[in-house]
Amino acid sequence: MHYDATCYIDGEWIVPAAPGLRDLIDPTTEEPFAKLASGGGIPEVEAAVAAARRAFASFSHTTPAARMALIDAIIAAYEARADDFAQLIAAEVGIPTSFKAQVAGPLGHMRVARDLLGTYAFESQLADTIIRREAIGVCALISPWNWPIQTSVIKVIYGIAAGCTMVLKPSDASPISGIFLAEVMHAAGVPAGVFNLVVGPGRVVGDALSRHPEVDMVSFTGSTGAGIKVGEAAAQTVKRVCLELGGKSANIVLTDADLERAARWNIQRCFTNSGQSCHAPSRLLVHRDQMEALLPFLVDEVSRFRLGDPRDPATTLGPVVNAAQFASIQTHIASGIAEGARLVCGGLGRPEGMNRGLFVRPTVFADVTPDMTIAREEIFGPVLAVIPYDTEEQALQIANDSIFGLGAYVFSQDRKRGYDFASRMRAGRVSFNGANTNSHTPMGGYKQSGIGRSMGVFGLEEYLEVKSVYGFEPEAAALPQA
């Protein structure tokens, strides 16, 4: 693959002004699989934002029905490219084609957003006042590499549902995913300027979008460190930010829980996607007297993963995204060993028999204390820290003693006990006994895991401003929705 035109602006493909090509490295082979123009810069950001601003004047006044029809067209165009997306992300970031949620998930999110437009009240009455919810404006959408399609789709589709226009900046580690998505938008007939794409480094493109005075809102998903920079830049022009950032989610296994079920579920939820998930339950808290009974289930479930080429349908665990991520995970594993945690399985280096590819040995540590590095820092790899507790109050204190608050998990045979515990956990999402999340409910974090929410009604409202229009009695307020 060779891409010279890496920016999609005002309905046309643009070759960036900056010269040069770069190789994209397949993490399975550690060899180039594509060449890409060096990416956009300030000129492309300016052109994209200007195109979005022009398009906003008309697109923001389209009807919900018209936007529903547009989303239907996007869904159809996306479905036609689903296999292409699956093969691309296997090469681009090492995600196995067997992990169907990466490609199928976005369709569910698009359908939820479309259906929401059929019921959402963009106008309501409060005494003699009409409360209007209106599109916020031009949105900068900055997406990550670990869910390279789904995260971008959620941002784009809710922006469109709200009547906003946008500039998408995909991760520099997964730029072709953004290009493919732009091709979908073009094929679906999204009006020129409504959706724009600028591929380029975050320190240039992301920073320029965050600071731009004509951008009204920034939606960013990524690390907490990068999110802080986005927030600081956006504050210069007092724009709204929606940030989904890092996590160090705790799974608390209460003493009455099914230990085998909790252990096996934790490994699958933590290590799928090579552990590269911000909601991964990377801290497992179990009563000290039950730890030894739990560990064999963890080890057995780890052994069930099949590592290999992500294009092989039998592979369930691929490589991590790039050499920098591989090195970071190795450093964290080494710190666990050095700080005295007990290595139960896995460890340093590649898995046995693999002499190339950025594959990490799925690793479980036991006897982890809350002050250890592997208990406090987001590793973003297939590494689990098992932490013993003596009382439930201590378990709750350990779980909440984190700068993060994105996800949390509780296992118990007693629903009331589990709910009471979940209600005291400081996290934006809490799952009881491994219950699945869904596309209708809000996703977001407490503390340094972010600001705002995505998905469903709460996600739509991130892209809307609230206006009060006074002096209209209820009988005079039967005005069309906008």
**Alpha carbons 431 and 448: distance in angstroms, whole number:** 20
Instruction: Tell me the two tokens of residue 299.
Output: 């080890």
Look at the block and give the residue holding tokens 């005002």.
10
Q: Distances in Å between the alpha carbon of 48 and those of 136, 151, 205?
A: 17, 20, 11
Chain-centre distance of CA 460, in angstroms?
16
Using N-to-C axis directions, what is the helix angle for 175-187 and 82-92, rounded to 10°?
170
345 is catalytic: no
DSSP assignment of 429-467, as one string? EEEETT----TTS-B--EETTEES-BSHHHHHHTTEEEE
**Alpha carbons 191 and 281: distance in angstroms, whole number:** 41
**Alpha carbons 283 and 461: distance in angstroms, whole number:** 32
Q: Distances in Å between the alpha carbon of 66 and those of 204, 281, 361, 440?
A: 35, 41, 50, 22
Looking at 92, 164, 278, 462, which residue is catalytic? 278
Contacts of 119 (CB under 8 A, 6+ apart): none
Asked if 415 contacts 432 with a C-beta cutoff of 8 angstroms, the reply is yes
Asked if 149 contacts 160 with a C-beta cutoff of 8 angstroms, the reply is no
Instruction: Tell me the two tokens of residue 36.
Output: 């890409």
Instruction: Tell me the two tokens of residue 248.
Output: 């160090």
184, amino acid identity? V
| 97-107: burial string, b at 16+ Cβ within 10 Å, e else | bbbeebbebbb
Looking at 244, 301, 392, 461, which residue is catalytic? 244
**Alpha carbons 51 and 253: distance in angstroms, whole number:** 52
126, amino acid identity? L
30 is catalytic: no
Instruction: Tell me the two tokens of residue 354.
Output: 């693999």
Instruction: Tell me the two tokens of residue 72.
Output: 């239907």
Catalytic residues: 244, 278
